[in-house]
Amino acid sequence: MNDHGHISVRTYWNVFGGLMLLMGLTIGAYYIEKLVLPLPEIVAVGIALLIAFTKTALIVTFFMHLKVSSRLAQLFAASSFVWLLIMFMITMGDYFARGWPAQTGPLS
């Protein structure tokens, strides 16, 4: 870290502030959805995931020094998410196409 870039203490505090803000946001969004403005479930999950990914990006980039790490470390960090995506896309693709659990038909 000394030789290739540096993240200042100030940045750490800023990032921490950002994380707390996002956490407030995700809890806030939850209660708003529940009490004030009922959103479709998929939107609610989408918002929560979006916030979670933003928090992850903040932690990975600054706390875990990925911003100033070698290209190789960045590649490995990215690869795990790419492989998760592969697993999710293919498996969920099967479930979407299959329609599991089997729905009972209109005549039953």
Partner 1 sequence: MSTSAIPQNYTSTRADSATEWIKSWLLTVDHKRIAILYLLSINFFFLLGGLAASLVRVELVTPQGDLMTADMYNRMFTLHGVIMVFFFLIPAIPAVMGNFLVPLMIGARDLAFPRLNLLSWYLYMGGGVFALVAAITGGVDTGWTFYTPFSSSYSNSNVILTMSGAFIMGFSSILTGLNFIVTIHKMRAPGMTWFRLPLFIWANYATSLIQILATPVLGIALLLVMVERVWRVGIFDPALGGDPLLFQHLFWFYSHPAVYIMILPAMGVISELISAFSRKRIFGYEFIAFSSIAIAVLGFLVWGHHMFVSSQSVYSGLVFSFITMLVAIPSAIKVFNWTATLYKGSISYRTPMLYALGFIGLFIIGGLTGIFLGVVAVDIHVTDTYFVVAHFHYVMVGGTIMAYLGGIHYWWPKMTGRMYNEAWGAISALVVFVGFNMTFFPQFVMGYLGMPRRYHVYPEEFQIYHVLSTAGASILGLGFIIPIIYLTLSLFVGKVAGPNPWAATGLEWSIASPPPTHNFDQTPVVTEEAYAYPEDAAAQDSDSWQAGSHL
Partner 2 sequence: MATTSHEHGHNPALQHHFDTPEQQREAATLGMWAFLTTEIMLFGGIFMAYAVYRWAYHEVWALAATHLNTPLAAINTVVLLVSSLTVALGVHAAASGKQRQVVLLLLVTILLGAAFLGIKVTEYSEKFAHCAGYANPITWISGGATLEEAECLVPGQQFHFPVGHGAEEASSLPNIQRNAQLFYLLYFCATGLHAIHMIVGISIMAVLAWMAARGRFSSEYYTPVEIGGLYWHLIDIIWVFLFPLFYLV
Contact positions toward partner 1, by CB under 8 A? Answer: 72, 79-80, 83, 86-87, 90-91, 93-95, 97-98, 100-101
Residue 63 site contact among partner 1, partner 2, none (CB < 5 to 8 Å, cut-off depends on kind): partner 2
Question: Minimal distance in Å, beta carbon 90 to partner 2?
Answer: 10
- CB 73 within 8 Å of CB 66: yes
Type of residue numbered 47: I
d(CA 33, CA 44): 7
Q: Which two tokens stand for residue 10?
A: 């100030």
Q: Which two tokens stand for residue 41?
A: 């479930």
Question: Minimal distance in Å, beta carbon 73 to partner 2?
Answer: 5
Residue 7 site contact among partner 2, partner 1, none (CB < 5 to 8 Å, cut-off depends on kind): partner 2
CB atoms within 10 A of CB 20: 11
Contact map string, positions 38 to 77, toward partner 2, x by CB under 8 A: ---x--xx--xx-xx--xx--xx-xxxx---xx-xx--xx
